[in-house]
Amino acid sequence: MLGSVGLYFHIPFCAGKCPYCDFYSVDAADGLMDDYAKALDRHLREASAYLSNVVDTVYIGGGTPSLWGARRIDALLKRTRKLFSLSPKAEITLEVNPDSAQPKDLERWRKSGVNRLSFGVQSTDDALLRQLGRGHNAQQAARAVAQAAEAGYDNLSVDLLYGLPGQTMEQWRQTLQTAAAWPVAHISCYALKVEKNTPLHKTWGSIPCIDDDLVADQYLLAVETLERLGFAQYEISNFAKPSRQSRHNLKYWTLEPFLGFGPSAHSDFGGLRYAYTRDLSAYIDGVAGGDPIVTESERIERHDRAVEYIMLGLRTTHGINEAEYIQKFQASLDRPLALLAKWERYGLTRQENGRWKLTPKGFLVSNRLIGELLGEHAKR
């Protein structure tokens, strides 16, 4: 029996590049929006020839997908329904910037089938928003979320950033409390990471250093505050009200298959992981002319999946289970389990209902812990 699959569409257009952003994007005024729509349509028709799985999640990310236009998003979803077996209960997410969510668009997206919006709010402090180069202020963000709720959306998410230069604990507390009071069901909290080749990286010398201990305290404050306000943590950076976890993103963390479309999009399907070119024009030309657009590709062997089971499972509060691991991979988990039991004494891990998971304190050093676990796993 075929399992379900998720679809990801990368819409790379942006009004301007945020100084901290490392995602692939291009200027929304470059005149390629319709050409890109045609390329996606052709790519989808080609993919439909080999995909029989039920599609139960669709995620339209970017970039700023809301800038692509409600008409094009409507056409994309109509084509998806026509070509694939789209579940009537599919979660369909659209990423939106607060300054690009107009009431008429909200209504059009909802009628097109979008049932979940993810707002790139980042902060509710206007000074920090200006520092981040965002095109909205706190009032606009609050209004956009409220208008979405009024338009009939009952599954709204916001992204927030902490670890910002100059950001105090009180500013972060206020952002958390303000966002949690909005009509949202999901909040993602990410520590600012200064990636190479971003404008922020180039100007780093003039930005105050960020204190690692303060960032850790801000993370723990987020866990504590959001839990108290009804948002349970289910992954390192993600918090949700009951039954409102991102079903699409859970596919990434639970090793379920997904297909990506568009420049820089990644896929994990049929035992292969692959990615497309980070060049919009090359993607459009390649789809039209049959030229190669895949720039990365690897076959995932059982050992690799076993490593991913540990690495990704411990990113979630669901954790990992020995019996489940043995059933999936016919191998022992003894060495990693011994380490997990050792770390429990230090408050870094805990065992609940036969599943090992990291605590919030453990999540803070998850890269180091998971690295040690994988080192022990390799000794089996």
pLDDT of residue 193: 79
Between CA 13 and CA 17 the distance in angstroms is 10
Average pLDDT over residues 278-290: 95
Residue spans of the domains in the chain: they are: 5-252, 302-377
Exposed, middle or buried, 220 (CB in 10 Å: 0-12/13-18/19+)?
A: middle
Architecture label for domain 302-377: Orthogonal Bundle (1.10)
* pLDDT confidence bin for 195, thresholds 50/70/90: low
pLDDT of residue 209: 58
pLDDT of residue 377: 84
Average pLDDT over residues 274-284: 96
Kindly tell me if the per-residue pLDDT of 340 is higher than 80.
yes
Segment 138-177, tens digit of pLDDT: 999 999 999 999 999 999 999 999 999 889 999 999 999 9
| Mean pLDDT across the chain | 92
CA angle 350, 354, 356 (to 5 degrees): 35
* pLDDT confidence bin for 1, thresholds 50/70/90: very low
pLDDT of residue 26: 86
Q: Are 185 and 240 in contact (CB under 8 A)?
A: yes
pLDDT of residue 331: 87
Is the bond preceding residue 286 a cis peptide, omega within 30 degrees? no
Reduced to 3 states (helix: H, G, I; strand: E, B; else coil), residue 236 is coil
Question: Over pLDDT 90: what percentage of the chain?
Answer: 80
pLDDT of residue 324: 95
Segment 17-72, tens digit of pLDDT: 766 767 788 887 678 999 999 999 999 999 999 898 999 999 999 889 988 999 99
Architecture label for domain 5-252: Alpha-Beta Barrel (3.20)
Between CA 105 and CA 176 the distance in angstroms is 27
Kindly tell me if the per-residue pLDDT of 131 is higher than 90.
no
Between CA 197 and CA 27 the distance in angstroms is 17
| Parallel/antiparallel/unpaired status of strands 238-240 and 232-235 | antiparallel
Average pLDDT over residues 270-290: 95
Average pLDDT over residues 276-283: 96
pLDDT of residue 311: 96
| Parallel/antiparallel/unpaired status of strands 54-62 and 5-11 | parallel
